[in-house]
Each structure stands twice: as structure tokens, then as C-alpha cells.
């Protein structure tokens, strides 16, 4: 997990696996629960099913992006970080995000 990995690969490795798992989560979740029943009586009762699916998907995706991003962030070599703060602080993961 260091500078050998092209930036595009890092960005993709956060966005893409999270996209896949959130898709899976969306399918499982909405197979079990019908949004019309879930939202009945709430402020979102007017929301169409398609809308609920979409919002659900993006909520899942946001969450999984956060997870993937944190995993990437924590998998940076720790020593490297210390050295970097003294030397140069360019291309740590932060800039890739």
C-alpha cells in the first residue's frame, strides 16, 4: 500500500468494492423489507419504491465507501508515515482522495 500503486487504482479500490457490496446489501435489504411498509406513517410515506431503493442504495454506498476508505487509510505503513512527516508530505492516501 505505498506509492507503487497508481492513483486511479487507489480511487477505484475504494469506490468499486463498496459499490458492489452496497448493491448486494440493497438487494438483500429490499428483498426482505418492502419500502412502502417501512415508510408508511413516516415523513417519507410519499416516496415511490424506486426512490426508496435508490436512496437506500446510496446510503449503503456512502457507508461502504467510508469503510473502504478507512481500510485504505489504516493500511498505510506506519513507519513510512513517520518518515514522511519529517521529509515530504506529498502523496499519502489523503491526496488520492
The answer to whether 79 contacts another protein (rule: CB under 8 A) is: no
The stretch among 38-46, 47-55, 67-75 that binds another protein (CB under 8 A) is 47-55
Residue 81 burial (10 A CB sphere; 0-12, 13-18, 19+): exposed
Applying CB under 8 A, among 40, 44, 45, 49 the residue interacting with another protein is 49
CB 65 within 8 A of CB 14: yes
Applying CB under 8 A, among 40, 44, 51, 71 the residue interacting with another protein is 51
**Interatomic CA distance for residues 36 and 48, integer angstroms:** 8
Q: Output the smallest distance, CB 51 to another protein, in A.
A: 5
Q: Of the two residues 32 and 78, which places its CB atom closer to another protein in the complex?
A: 32
What crossing angle do the helices spanning 7-32 and 49-74 adopt, rounded to 10°?
Answer: 140
Dihedral sign for Cα 7, 10, 14, 19, please: positive
Binding residues for another protein, per CB under 8 A? 2-4, 6-9, 12-13, 16, 31-32, 34, 48-51, 53-54, 91
Amino acid at each position: 500500500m505505498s506509492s507503487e500503486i497508481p492513483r486511479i487504482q487507489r480511487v477505484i479500490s475504494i469506490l468499486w468494492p463498496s459499490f458492489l457490496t452496497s448493491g448486494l446489501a440493497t438487494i438483500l435489504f429490499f428483498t426482505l423489507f418492502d419500502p412502502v411498509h417501512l415508510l408508511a406513517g413516516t415523513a417519507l410515506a410519499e416516496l415511490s419504491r424506486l426512490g426508496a431503493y435508490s436512496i437506500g442504495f446510496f446510503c449503503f454506498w456512502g457507508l461502504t465507501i467510508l469503510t473502504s476508505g478507512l481500510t485504505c487509510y489504516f493500511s498505510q505503513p506506519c513507519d513510512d508515515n513517520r518518515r514522511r512527516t519529517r521529509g515530504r508530505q506529498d502523496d499519502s492516501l489523503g491526496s488520492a482522495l
